[in-house]
Amino acid sequence: ANAWGFPHAGVMMGSSIVMPGRFLDPLRIAQLMEKERVTLAAGVPTIWIGLLNVLEKEQFDFSALRAIISGGSAVPQSLIEGLARKNITIIHAWGMTETSPLASISRLRSYQSDLPAEEQFRIRAKQGTVVPGVDFRVVNIESGEEVPWDGQTFGELQVRGPWVARAYYRDEASGEKFVDGWLRTGDVAVVDSEGMIQLVDRTKDLVKSGGEWISSVELENLIMGHPKVLEACVVGVPHPKWSERPIACVVPKPEFAGQVSAEEILEYLRPKVAKWWLPDEVIFVEAIPKTSVGKFDKKVLRAQYESRLASQA
């Protein structure tokens, strides 16, 4: 989306395009956005988490900025709220290369504009409503049946449409990734009664503990709502009794390094999730490994900590 979606759209509209370079340092991005009077920005959530941390310490003139578009992974509600305190609107969107690239966008509907602020933020943290021309369904991961639109029942998100991929070129496994014309996105979602989608995980990142599903993304977003936390990444690791259990890797904000404990994080989570969702361990790290586009690299963390709980029973 950011590599060839926005640049093409910008050129078509006669816009100036501001490129930050390969090193996405939050301070440099802030300085560049101020200098170039950026009106529309886009990037994955980790970029804007870093920017918000900068804005909490320094002042910048972002008066030209109309909105930030963010996707690639779930935007934490705490980030939406934090940027709103700086008078910055971040718009949650979802799509894939296979959807060319936008598939849904999260905007408040007219009748939701009078809701309390907390409820508005909760809605804006969803991936929103599919764009015209895209069909979607959410199906049970094991049975393949469509799940109810109750905002709670997990399932795999599948999409189709005129510009949505129908096969992969020269890929022998292509048939496994498409079913009856639907693209199996690999994203796990819930749908509310309004038809708004909320992604809760990737199928490969869901933690199945004792036969029950735990959303690593939901845990991450809750932990990142803690005022002393900059970033958090949750992965499932093998457990001798429960098959898998979640562990949380947490990066404190620089000013709170060494000043936040694992128990403090767990206490923060206890009133927000079921007891069995609580991570078995909270590990403080200096940085979370990221992919080339800035997403958390969970493969690296799983490999690093796969034997962490092996002795527990």
Would you write out the chain's pLDDT as a tens digit for each of its 313 residues?
Answer: 777 788 888 999 999 999 988 878 899 999 999 999 999 999 989 899 999 999 999 999 999 999 999 988 889 999 999 999 999 999 999 999 899 888 999 999 999 999 999 999 999 999 999 999 999 999 998 888 999 999 999 899 999 999 999 999 988 888 889 999 999 999 999 999 999 999 988 888 889 898 888 999 999 999 999 999 999 999 999 999 899 999 999 999 999 999 999 999 999 999 999 999 999 999 999 999 998 878 899 999 999 999 888 777 5
Name the pTM for this structure: 0.84
Q: Would you say the CATH fold of 207-305 matches that of 130-200?
A: no
Task: Please state which architecture CATH assigns to domain 207-305.
Answer: 2-Layer Sandwich (3.30)
Domain residue ranges in the chain: 5-95, 130-200, 207-305
- 49 to each of 91, 162, 304, how far by Cα in Å? 14, 35, 24
Q: Are 55 and 30 in contact (CB under 8 A)?
A: yes
Q: Please provide the CATH number assigned to the domain covering 5-95.
A: 3.40.50.980
Amino acid at 257: A
Domain 130-200 bears CATH identifier 2.30.38.10: yes
- 226 to each of 194, 207, 256, how far by Cα in Å? 29, 22, 11
What sign does the dihedral 16-20-22-24 (CA atoms) show?
negative
